[in-house]
Amino acid sequence: CERISRKDWDPKTETYVEVKENYSGRGVLFGSYSQYEIQTLGVLATDKKATVLQNEVSMTPKIEDEWLTALGSFRVIHIQQDPASTIWKCQLRKV
């Protein structure tokens, strides 16, 4: 996974300095959302679910992180932690 942070705005060039950080982990990728979630919660039909084990990830995932997988590149749209703080459930959208 790759996180691109934009820091230090330069008003002359109107650009940021980009810092890239890579991290990896283990979990279950690519569950699907139900029709209910798609129709009532505004989830896109092409969005995917990922369940990530917290103790297996080298960094905490954040919204806008980009994940390169066997099925292509995805951006993290939403993250939810379980009550026991053992997994993250991530909503991914194709880039």
Q: Is the pLDDT of residue 90 over 90?
A: yes
Sequence-distant (6+) residues with CB within 8 A of 31 are 48, 49, 50, 51
Query: Is 80 exceeded by the pLDDT of residue 81?
Result: yes
pLDDT the model gives residue 20: 84
State percent of the chain over pLDDT 70: 100
Residue identified by tokens 């820091």 is: 7
Provide the 10 A C-beta neighbour count for residue 7. Answer: 8
In this prediction the pTM is 0.77
> What is the mean predicted confidence (pLDDT) over 64-78?
87
Q: Is CATH 2.40.30 what the domain over 2-94 is classified as, yes or no?
A: yes
Residue 92 above 90 pLDDT? yes
Domain ranges of the chain: 2-94
